[in-house]
Structure formats: structure tokens, C-alpha cells
Copies of this chain bind each other. A is one copy, B any other.
Amino acid sequence: MADINAVATQFTDFYYTSFDRDRSSLEPLYRPESMLTFEGTQLLGTANILEKLKSLPFQNVQHKVTTLDAQPSTNPGAIIVSVTGLLLVDGGENPLQFSQVFQLVPSDGTYFVFNDIFRLNYGA
């Protein structure tokens, strides 16, 4: 599964670099049918998703990927990507753990995000 792992790595590198630099640059990754569940809040479509991402109340954020797993999905070419990692917010010393799941769907020689589920993982 080397190929899908390469796609997953390339996608997450791009996604988190873009997120941390300028969240509005994530817009081309979403479509009208894209779904985001962010900390339990459900959003549908590019406009709603971008509005949510841009409204998040931190100025500086850095994602560090700890684990990255990919599997082929049911639809030909689609990929399930599961990420766990650390989120450093506004220079805070205590990174937050997060989990994020994407389903990437191929289209026009690239991929868009069909499913996106984000959760912070609080300690026990």
C-alpha cells in the first residue's frame, strides 16, 4: 500500500502546513458535499467548513503528526486517513493531543476531502 501511504503523507503535510499558515488556503480541499465534524459540531459544504475553521479562537497553531495510517476505502481510489498528533496553540507549553480522520476522494487528478472528523483527546 505504498502508494496510498504516499498520498496520505503528502496530503497531511499540505493540510497541516496550510492550516497552520493560513486556514483560508484549505478552501480548495473541500467541496459542497464535504462534511466536517469538529469537536462534535457538524458542518456541510466548503463555505460552512471554512467559516468554522477560520473562526477557531487561536492565533498561532502548530500541528505535529505523531501517527499516520491509511487504508483504501470502498470507492475505487478513495482513501481513509487516520492521524493522531499534537496541537501547540498560541505558544502554550502544554500541547493538546488530537485525532483526525479524513476520507480523500480522487477527482480531476487530485483529491478532495469528503469526510473530516476532528477531536481533541483530553487526559483520563
Contact = CB atoms under 8 A, between A and B. Distances in A.
Question: Is the contact region of chain A dominated by helix, strand, or loop, or is it mixed?
Answer: strand
Contacts of A80: 80, 101, 103, 115, 117
A75 interface: yes
A71 B119 contact: no
Interface string A92-124: 001101010101010000000011010101111
Interface residues on chain A, size class: 20 to 34
Nearest to A93: B124
A10 interface: no
A104 to B, nearest CB: 10
Contact of A73 (B40, B67, B115): B115
